[in-house]
Structure 1
Amino acid sequence: MLDPSAMRAARKRLGMSRDELAARLNRTPLTVRRWETGKATPNDHSVTALAVALDVDARELVADE
């Protein structure tokens, strides 16, 4: 499952806005916001795309359960 705070931290580390990330992922800014706030959970394909867009290993975006 996605760790919303890790996603947000990775995005901010790059100085990227939610709008910029959404454009890179071909998603809406609302979707990105919902992922970052934990109100929605991306599927595995989207987590992989997030990792590529944020230049991190996908495991860094996944919460320990």
Structure 2
Amino acid sequence: MLNKDAMRELRNERKMSRAELAQKLDRHPLTIRRWETGRMQPNSHTVVVIAEILGCGVEDLVAVTE
């Protein structure tokens, strides 16, 4: 499951807007907003692509549940 707070923080640290990330992912900016607010979850392939774009590991974006 995507850690919405981590995704938002990493995107902001890279000074990337939701619109910029959406364009790189070929998605609508509203989709990015929904991921960052927890209303929707991207599929696992998309999480890998987000990690590549943000220059981080998948583990940095995924919430660990026990």
TM-score, normalization by structure 2:
0.96
Aligned Cα root-mean-square deviation (Å): 0.4
- How many percent of aligned residue pairs carry the same amino acid? 49
Which whole-Å deviations, capped at 9, do the CAs of 1:8-60 have from their partners, x for residues lacking one? 00000000000000001111101000000000000001100110111100110
Residue 32 of structure 2 corresponds to: 32
Residue 57 of structure 2 corresponds to: 57
Unmatched tracts of structure 2, length 5 or more: none
4+ runs deviating over 3 angstroms: none
TM-score, normalization by structure 1:
0.98
User: What is the one-letter code of the residue matched to 1:15?
Assistant: K
Once the two structures are TM-superposed, the CA of residue 64 in structure 1 deviates from its matched residue by 1.1
**Alignment coverage as a number of residue pairs:** 65
